[in-house]
């Protein structure tokens, strides 16, 4: 980020710490023994930042990878969350932006400005102002309304899908500190697709048990989306972006590409396709729980092609189709997490590598709550930690696959 005008450096904090101020629109910022920083500058300094007019300044302090809100006048940490530093008139923490996001989520879920304002303890006037400020900040219209109803624009729908999980993650971080010292125990009900549970949840259970011996895990493997609340589910693994119930929080775990694979024996017998049009001559194994199991949408360098494939067998469980593909019955179209090890071992071969199919997000869904049970929080964090350590998203994306998976 470029700097202009006078700057200063102080070594009064450790070398690992720095204070960063963005979009400073105030002419009263300075550091000890330094000249003033002029309005409109982007400023970065090591050491406490002072305002020359005596008004308290608040900055984000980055210490290693931990971000803390730091009151530079009182010299104390206020909270451990990374928050945008908005400097408009007086330097102040981005509380308004936080309220704007929470309000927008409530509007999306209630379909009403007044009900959203009531849920957050805001006046209708404040709610309208927050929404207008958020739209102005994003330079896009999020909500349309008339005298009878209110609805999200296409941009609003897309923003809601992503910001809900982000806000939920921040809220959960605040409860995580309290939960960290709580005793983790009790029964935990987990659900997800059968193949996913077999490959990625089952192997984790012994490790989770070692860390949390007082948690009893019950896994309900099912290739359907049961109602989480009605079924008493604590944690669910999903491959859809949102839940029909607004009381469910959805958080992305990993992204996986999809690919067409076949056994070496099948390809030796039927040939290897080099273009999507070649698929007309091939047999496929189709998964019944896909919305349109026989329609494939390809993309390469801006070119798109839709092909309708010929199915010779179908099943409601991917492991059945995987076994049939290993036996040479036909080609299989599934997320990379299902056949990654088979491709690495050479048991299945990926075809049409330069053509991409739409990717899939694997999400964690769970009941929204101000106080998420410690056992649920522990399991969610454990799975996320494992997925990051194993770098599954890298392994399952086209970039990694093209590197030789």
The CA–CA distances, whole Å, from 173 to 205, 248, 386, 387 equal 24, 17, 18, 19
The residues near 226 (Cβ < 8 Å, ≥ 6 apart) are 191, 233
Q: What is the pLDDT of residues 257-279, one digit of tens each?
A: 999 999 999 999 999 999 999 99
Contact 313, 330 (CB under 8 A): yes
> 360-367 and 235-238: which strand pairing?
antiparallel
Domain limits, CATH 1.10.10.10, in the chain: 96-177
CATH, domain 182-256+361-402, list 3.30.565.10, 2.115.10.20, 3.30.750.24, 3.40.190.10: 3.40.190.10
Domain limits, CATH 3.40.190.10, in the chain: 182-256+361-402
Q: What is the pLDDT of residues 105-156, one digit of tens each?
A: 989 888 888 888 888 888 888 888 889 888 888 888 999 988 778 889 988 8
Q: Provide the residue-wise pLDDT of the chain in tens; the chain has 405 residues.
A: 333 333 332 222 222 223 333 333 333 333 333 222 222 333 333 333 333 333 333 333 322 222 333 334 444 333 333 223 322 223 333 557 778 888 899 898 888 888 888 888 888 888 888 898 888 888 889 999 887 788 899 888 888 888 887 787 777 776 666 555 567 889 999 999 999 999 999 999 999 999 999 999 999 998 888 888 888 899 999 987 566 677 788 888 999 999 999 999 999 999 999 999 999 999 999 998 887 888 999 999 989 999 999 999 999 999 999 999 999 999 999 999 999 999 999 999 999 999 999 999 999 999 886 668 889 999 999 999 999 999 999 999 865 444 444
Residue the block writes with tokens 């039927």: 270
The residues near 108 (Cβ < 8 Å, ≥ 6 apart) are 152, 156, 160, 164
Q: How far apart are CA 81 and CA 170, in angstroms?
A: 8
The CATH number of the structural domain formed by 258-358 is 3.40.190.290
Evaluate if pTM is beyond 0.75. Answer: no
Q: What is the pLDDT of residues 306-317, one digit of tens each?
A: 999 999 999 999
Q: How far apart are CA 23 and CA 108, in angstroms?
A: 29
Domain limits, CATH 3.40.190.290, in the chain: 258-358
The CATH number of the structural domain formed by 96-177 is 1.10.10.10
- Nearest 5°: phi and psi at 262? -155, 160
Contact 257, 405 (CB under 8 A): no
């Amino acid at each position: 980020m470029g700097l202009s005008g006078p700057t200063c450096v102080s070594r009064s904090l450790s070398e690992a710490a720095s204070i960063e101020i963005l979009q400073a629109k105030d002419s009263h910022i300075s550091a000890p023994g330094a000249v003033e920083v002029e309005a409109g500058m982007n400023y970065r300094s090591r050491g406490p930042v002072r305002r020359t007019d005596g008004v308290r300044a608040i900055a984000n302090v980055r210490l290693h990878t931990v971000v803390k809100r730091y009151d530079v006048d009182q010299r104390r940490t206020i909270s451990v969350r990374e928050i945008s530093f908005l400097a408009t008139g007086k330097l102040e923490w981005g509380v308004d932006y936080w309220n704007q996001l929470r309000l927008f989520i409530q509007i999306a879920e209630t379909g009403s400005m007044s009900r959203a304002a009531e849920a957050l303890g805001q006046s209708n006037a404040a709610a309208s102002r927050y929404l207008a400020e958020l739209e102005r900040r994003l330079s896009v219209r999020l909500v349309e309304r008339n005298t009878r109803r209110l609805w999200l624009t296409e941009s609003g729908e897309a923003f809601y899908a992503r910001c809900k999980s982000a806000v939920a993650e921040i809220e959960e971080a605040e409860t995580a500190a309290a939960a960290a010292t709580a005793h983790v125990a009790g029964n935990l009900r987990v659900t997800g697709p059968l193949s996913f549970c077999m490959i990625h949840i089952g192997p984790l259970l012994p490790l989770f048990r070692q860390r949390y011996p007082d948690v009893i895990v019950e896994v309900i493997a099912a290739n359907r989306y049961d109602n989480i609340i009605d079924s008493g589910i604590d944690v669910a693994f999903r491959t859809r972006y949102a839940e029909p119930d607004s009381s469910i929080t959805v958080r992305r775990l990993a992204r996986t590409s999809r690919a067409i694979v076949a056994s070496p024996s099948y390809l030796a017998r039927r040939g290897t396709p080099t273009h999507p049009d070649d698929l007309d001559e091939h047999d496929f194994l189709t998964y019944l729980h896909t919305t349109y199991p026989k329609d494939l949408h390809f993309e390469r360098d801006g070119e798109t092609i839709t092909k309708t494939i010929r199915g010779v067998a179908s099943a409601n469980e991917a492991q059945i189709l995987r076994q049939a593909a290993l036996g040479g019955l036909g080609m299989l179209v599934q997320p990379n997490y299902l056949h990654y090890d088979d491709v690495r071992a050479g048991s299945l071969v990926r075809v049409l590598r330069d053509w991409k199919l739409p990717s899939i997000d694997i999400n964690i869904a769970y009941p929204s709550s101000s106080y998420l049970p410690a056992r649920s929080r522990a399991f969610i964090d454990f799975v996320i930690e494992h997925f990051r350590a194993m770098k599954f998203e890298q392994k399952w994306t086209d970039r990694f696959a093209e590197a030789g998976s």
